[in-house]
Amino acid sequence: MPNRSDTRRQPRHPTYLEGHIGFDTRKLTLKCLVRNLSGLGASLVLPGEYALPREFDVHIASRGQSYRAHLVWSRGNRCGVAFTDADLRREPESRRGPLLVAEDHGVPQDAA
């Protein structure tokens, strides 16, 4: 059986970026760690096990990037997503509503 990374249309690059998963038009967010990234998807590590919706936004503030994502797989506190809008979205901070943070602690350092 081929390695999953060998079957991807675009290679993913290792990262260690803070991200936020946005639900309900970004009124509720959950911190995450973006462990690898390509223009088509990412691998995320969450601070615990969560039941995620099928679609949500992934925002990487340090890069000013946001993606609409579709949940592909989920195991424990890790998940893989495919970006449903392969084009990068940049959204001005002023257009976003107030955020409620679902979890106010970071991702464990041993999540690597």
Domains of the chain by residue range: 4-103
Indicate the CATH number for domain 4-103.
Answer: 2.40.10.220
Q: Give the pTM.
A: 0.70
> Which residue is associated with the tokens 């290679």?
11
Query: What is the pLDDT at residue 8?
Result: 57
Q: Is 109 left (phi over 0), alpha (psi -120 to 50) or beta?
A: alpha
Report the distance separating Cα 28 and Cα 42, nearest Å: 20
pLDDT, tens only, 43-100: 999 999 999 999 999 999 999 999 999 999 999 999 999 999 755 454 434 334 444 4
pLDDT, tens only, 5-38: 455 567 878 999 999 999 877 678 999 999 999 9
Q: Are 84 and 74 in contact (CB under 8 A)?
A: no
Query: What is the pLDDT at residue 2?
Result: 41
